[in-house]
Amino acid sequence: MKNRFASGLCSLLLSVLFTACVATSGINRTSSIAAPEAALGKPKTYAWYQDQPAAPVEFEKSFGKSLDKNLRQAIEAELKERGYQKVTSDPDLLVAYDVSVSVPLEKDAPGTYPPGFGYSYAYMAGYRYNYKHEDMPGYRSVDLFKQGTLIVDLVQPQTNELLWRGWSEEAISNFNASYKKVQAQVESVLEEL
């Protein structure tokens, strides 16, 4: 009787463990953080933090120039769907994005880049600014995200304070990703807004 009970208990525990593994395999890897006082429902206009990305120091072989275009188009379309309007002057918010990449050791040395910049792929280089983030719970710099993480930032123009950051881990695995793939990832990030 003890053997049957132990066997039944073992089977039950294994099935619960297996079910837990299956349930966690579909976890959404999209998250966001916001400044405590951020009133993101009120702002309705935006502009890009940097309209044209800084000229890259070097192009990485795996970087596709179309990624910047696809990400910008997808972000603009998603913000428009949410009621935000792109303007050329006096925006309520500034928008920036980044894609976290694996950093080679030789590129990760202190003093390699001017303050506010870091290692990234080509066009993304201009988006690694040091926003003010003192009031941002859970803030971490771009280089601490897993490789391929898509990050979208909303910044207060007057104070350069980060108001909201949304990200999706392992969203961009191909730097020549199609618009359709990029759009799906941007949509999942901005759903958190």
Average pLDDT along the chain: 73
Residue whose token pair is 């050791």: 105
Max mean pLDDT among 18-22, 90-94, 102-106, 177-181 falls in: 90-94
Give pLDDT tens digits for 105-163: 555 455 554 544 444 443 444 445 667 777 778 888 877 888 888 999 999 999 888 99
Give the per-residue pLDDT at 34.
84
Percent of the chain with pLDDT over 70: 62
Measured CA to CA, the distance from residue 53 to residue 62 in angstroms comes to 18
Region of poorest pLDDT, from 19-23, 63-67, 143-147, 187-191: 19-23
Give the per-residue pLDDT at 141.
80
pTM: 0.71
In order of their start, the domains of the chain are 28-190 (3.30.160)
